[in-house]
Structure formats: structure tokens, C-alpha cells
Amino acid sequence: MAANLLAQGFALTVHNRHRDRELPLAVAGATRAATPAAAARGAAVLALCLSDDAAVAAVLLGEGGDGDGAAVAGLAPGALVVDFSTIAPQTSRAMAAALAERGVAYLDEPVTGGTEGARAGTLSVLVGGAAADLERARPLLEAVGRTITAIGPVGAGQAAKAVNQVLVAGSYAAVAEALALGQRLGLPMEEVRQALLGGAAGSWALEHRGGAMLRGEFPLGFRLRLHRKDLAIALEAAAAGGLGLPVAELVAAMEDDLIAAGHGDEDVSALARWFNAGSR
């Protein structure tokens, strides 16, 4: 996503908690910053993409909200924070409230489309926040995404991403289960997979991850443990609304098994391992 911003001509300052990950962007023309505060200093728009709620709070506000070295120390009134992370809606609302006290606007903008979409700049961006702030951010969003959808107020983008992650859970698990059945039946499964892509069973997961599942290869992608974190957000939201999500609950239990077996840092498509008794 950052590389696409550079390619579109944006002046970009970058900071990563794993500093070596800044190096390819620096070679491409980005300026490196030693801290989140330094990255935010002078920025009209600050974009985040972090792993979880705790990381967002620490990078934006600092430990205990003290701001020491955190982005908030460098943000000036009138700046805009665009948060591409997937976190709980209530965390997004808390970040927005804390920043508003300092005159800084906030949009929650989780994305979907996989690493393929991130590289190609074709992600789908789910936006929660004020319409005027979305228009300010639109040029940046159009550099990373093909579909930009205003969902509602702050937190609504995260709620929509929870819906997405439930769909991902069901579709990946269904593909893994179906491919396991075909293998058990002795079918030529790559040929079967190609044949099914054009029919009613075709899906993003079957097209983009089915081949790797058949080969037993699970490079990132999106980490299984992070998807499990996202399912926890969805399950909590459903419980608060009095709704059961039996498919999501089953996939969460499968992912718990795989994480316990040491597969949490593999792609979500490692759900295919669950059908191998030796991996459970």
C-alpha cells in the first residue's frame, strides 16, 4: 500500500515498529522516521495499518495514553488519521474521541482484497467517519483501493470488516473441506478445482488459495492468528446483538487447534491442515 502511494507521487514518510521493513520504501523514495511522532509531524494525513487494537492505541496515543513518542505528539490540529487496521468498532470510536480532543479527525478504513489487492492497488476500503473527512482522504484511498464505500459513522467500517471476516471464515473452511473430500476420493483435484471455478462453487478462496491448499503451501497472505483475532471481534459483536454465528464459531475452534499446533503465522488457508489428522 505504501509503495502504491509512492508510485502515485505522494510525498511519504514511513515508520515501522520493525525498522528494517522501512528500507525498501526508503530506496523507492520515502523518508524514514524514527518514531510514530516523527512520522506524524507536519503530516496532513497519517495512515496506519497495524495488527490489533493494542498496537493502534500504542502507536497513536502511547502507553497509557501519555503520547510520549506516539503519533499524537506529532499531529497538529486539523490533521486527519486514516486507520486501515482491523480492530474493534469501539476501539475506533475511542481513538476518534481521543484525537478529537486535540482537533484531529479520524476515519476507520479497514481493507479487504488480500495481499494481491494490496500490491495491485485494488483493495476494497470500508469507511467509517464523516463524509467531509472521507473526501479529504479520497486521493490517498484511490491510490490503494478500487472500491471505496462509505458505511456510516466511525466504527461502521470496522463493523463491516467483521462481516467480511465471517465470510472469509466460511469460504476458506468450505474450500478446505471440499478439497479434502476430493483428495480422499482420489480425484485429480487441480483439474477439478479449475473446472469448479466457472460454476456456482467458484469463489475468491477457491481461485486464489485453493491451489496452495492442494500443494500444502501456506505463505502469507494473511496470518491465521490475526484472522482468529478478527473472528473474536465478530463473535463478540454478534453475542452483543443476541445472534449466534455457528459457522464462525466452528472455524474459530479450528483455528484455535491450528494455532496451538504452531501454525498461527501461516496464511488463513492453513485451515486445510485441519483436515490432516496429523496436524490436529
- Quick check: 74 and 39 in contact, CB under 8 A? yes
pLDDT (tens digit per residue) in 131-187: 999 999 999 999 999 999 999 999 999 999 999 999 999 999 999 999 999 999 999
184 or 220: whose pLDDT is higher?
184
CATH number of 159-279: 1.10.1040.10
Task: Look at residues 226, 213, 230 and name the one whose alpha carbon lies nearest to residue 269.
Answer: 213
Q: Which residues contact 279 (CB under 8 A, 6 or more apart)?
A: 258, 261, 263, 273
Place 277 in a pLDDT band, splitting at 50, 70 and 90. Answer: low
Helix (H, G, I), strand (E, B) or coil at 80: strand
> How confident is the model at residue 220, as a pLDDT?
84
pLDDT band at residue 279 under the 50/70/90 scheme = very low
Determine the average pLDDT of the residues in 211-221.
Answer: 93
pLDDT 10s digits, 60-110: 999 766 677 899 999 999 999 999 999 999 999 999 999 999 999 999 999
pTM: 0.93
Domains of the chain, by residue range, sit at 2-152, 159-279
Say what the pLDDT of residue 64 is.
66
Query: Would you name the residues annotated as active-site residues?
Result: 161
> What's the CATH number of domain 2-152, 3.40.50.620, 1.20.120.140, 3.40.50.300, 3.40.50.720?
3.40.50.720
Nearest-CA neighbor of 8 among 145, 113, 107? 145
Length of the chain: 280
The pLDDT of residue 221: 86
What are the tens digits of pLDDT across the range 17-62? 999 999 999 999 999 999 999 999 999 999 999 999 999 999 999 9
Judging by beta carbons within 10 Å of its beta carbon (0-12, 13-18, 19+), is residue 232 exposed, middle or buried?
Answer: middle
What is d(CA 205, CA 169) in angstroms, rounded to the nearest whole number? Answer: 10
pLDDT value at residue 276: 81
